[in-house]
Structure 1
Amino acid sequence: MRFVTRILLALAVSALGASFALSAQATTLKITVTNNQAAGGLSITPLYTAIHDGNFDAFDLGGTASAGLELIAETGMQSGIAGERLAIDADSQGLVLASPSGPPPVQPGEAVSRNITVNAAEALYFTFLSMVLPSNDHFIGNDNPFAYQLFDAACNFTGARTINVTGADIYDAGTEANGLTGAAFIQGVNIADSPTGEGSIQQGLPLSSDLFGPGVVLATGDTLSASLIDFTSNPGAFNLLTIEISEVPLPASAPLLLGALGLMGWAKRHRKTLS
């Protein structure tokens, strides 16, 4: 075997090995969130997502909100919940999807995508959290940490999935009374104000009518439409968001592998031409 051919073969084998190693150890996922609301509907703060081993349980209906959940439900800030997640599962990963243009909240009609590379060594699950805008302490999330399994026990990606986030996924953190005082995403309102709330995480509590009263203007300059934000009458039919999770194909070593195989083919044809 000629020297050049041996080099190309070694390159191809190395690239193939790297490709298999990458596919076995790391999977790149694309996560997309789309706000399905019409103009005048609800927005959300940048969507917080986590991929974890199932021990990270962000909240329980009827329970008391943790400090991290309170922070995200009242302000949209993710630092607290991220710290709580890492304290429970140090190998877990988080990803935040914020609007790339304009204000960071994901507004009606807007879609945001980001990629995350996951190094799976066990079964892994997906959690999402975000504050509903405008509100005092309404948020979205999955109460069951095992609801969305992304990787099985053999570390295989379980396949693309679509999560429809409806009114049934909207909760009240119970940390702040609902009204105009302390509400987020409203012009002229001090979000630092925090009137005492209900005390426990509840479901089916509507937004305060004060948020769409006369003269109330959103941070974007728009107004909220009362006819678009009723998520309690028929929660399952209230179409808030779509979250799509899919695998990004073609590992990083694939172009190297294809190039090496192509060169080997060229070398073989070249030898035949010369013989």
Structure 2
Amino acid sequence: MKFLWIGSPLAVALVWQGLAPSAQAANVQLRITVENLSPANSVSLAPFRFGFGDGTFDAFNAGSAAFLLGQPDIASAPIVSIAEGGSGATWLPGFQAAEPAANVDSLTGPAGPFLPGQSNSAVFTVDTSNRFFTFGTMVVPSNDHFLGNDDPMEYEVFDANGALRLTTIEQGVDEIWDAGSETENPANAAFLPGIGVNAQRENENSVVQFNFTDLSAFNGLATAGGYNFDSSLLTATSPLLRVSFEVVPEPATALLAAFATVGVLVRRR
């Protein structure tokens, strides 16, 4: 009995075809990485709230009030818990109520928020039938500014066969939303220790719209991150957020990848 070492693409393909897990497997281990791309002394991002679902949950609509009909008060609106305090207290349950089979979770920065230039990643179990990704994170310092996707089907992370089709989402400063729910006032703003009291608020009675220029109201103020906020660093073309997705291989898959690199051992009579 002899053994022959084969490193040809055909042999590797045959091994993968016979042993590799199907792309239609229901659950995958997905590494999610969140990066705050803003320059030093500019905006920080609150803990990152997200969910994978079928595209039903719609947290807000541009041009409409964040306060939705049928909710007892404005603070109960899903996007308001994100925009005014960085909390998922109503956003996460709202997502789960709209889509009971959704995978919802949070990712925090190294010290809670993501300070300028900081990133973090973690591995989550995701059902690939939940193809669409929706997220929300407060932009601070502010009263009610945030990042998030208006269209719940904008980001299709998995295709119909369960394969990863989207690896990166990037957003810039010009994609900062103003929830229109609270007036800009440093005395009521988050992330300003000794100045802002986040529990205080004054209704703005406006609508959700893109707006980053109002952040100039916080220029020069000391933040909870230990730096003075410089609004002049923010331009419409500045990058702000990157979210990356990577399927973490199972041990058998990793072994096959090693075979693909060094060759395949097959038996020859």
Fold shared by both chains (TM-score > 0.5): yes
AA matched with 1:247? V
Cα displacement string for residues 4-53 of structure 1 (whole angstroms, at most 9, x for unaligned residues): xxxxxxxxxxxx99973796222221111111112111100011121110
Report the CA distance shift for 1:144/1:22 in structure 2 as closer, same or farther (over 3 A): closer
Aligned residue runs from structure 1 range 35-74, under 5 A: 35-66=36-67, 67-74=77-84
Shifted more, 87-96 versus 201-210: the winner is 201-210
Map of 2:120 onto structure 1: 112
Of 183, 196, 217, the match for 1:210: 217
1:156, distance to aligned residue in structure 2 (A): 2.8
Map of 1:79 onto structure 2: 89
Of 130, 149, 153, the match for 1:146: 153
AA matched with 2:29? T
Partners of 1:104 and 1:93 lie apart in 2 by: 21
Partners of 1:179 and 1:153 lie apart in 2 by: 46
Alpha carbons 1:19, 1:252 under 8 Å: kept? no
Report the CA distance shift for 1:119/1:186 in structure 2 as closer, same or farther (over 3 A): same
AA matched with 2:239? N
Alpha carbons 1:26, 1:117 under 8 Å: kept? yes
RMSD: 2.7
Report the CA distance shift for 1:41/1:175 in structure 2 as closer, same or farther (over 3 A): same
AA matched with 2:234? I
Partners of 1:42 and 1:106 lie apart in 2 by: 9
Partners of 1:167 and 1:39 lie apart in 2 by: 14
AA matched with 1:58? A
1:222, distance to aligned residue in structure 2 (A): 1.0
Report the CA distance shift for 1:180/1:17 in structure 2 as closer, same or farther (over 3 A): same
TM-score by length of 1: 0.77
1:59, distance to aligned residue in structure 2 (A): 1.0
Aligned residue runs from structure 1 range 254-265, under 5 A: none
AA matched with 1:120? T
Q: Of the two, which has the highest radius of gyration?
A: 1
Cα displacement string for residues 91-136 of structure 1 (whole angstroms, at most 9, x for unaligned residues): 1112311123xx3000111111111121223x61011210001000
**In the alignment, structure 1 residue 244 sits paired with structure 2 residue 244:** yes
Alpha carbons 1:181, 1:194 under 8 Å: kept? no
Report the CA distance shift for 1:225/1:89 in structure 2 as closer, same or farther (over 3 A): same
Greater helix percent: which structure?
Answer: 1
Of 170, 174, 180, the match for 1:174: 180
AA matched with 2:189? A
Of 181, 190, 194, the match for 2:201: 194
TM-score by length of 2: 0.78
Partners of 2:19 and 2:84 lie apart in 1 by: 46
Map of 2:226 onto structure 1: 221
Report the CA distance shift for 1:156/1:22 in structure 2 as closer, same or farther (over 3 A): closer
Report the CA distance shift for 1:23/1:257 in structure 2 as closer, same or farther (over 3 A): farther
Q: Which aligned runs of 4 or more in structure 1 are off by greater than 3 angstroms?
A: 16-23, 252-258
Of 130, 136, 142, the match for 1:129: 136
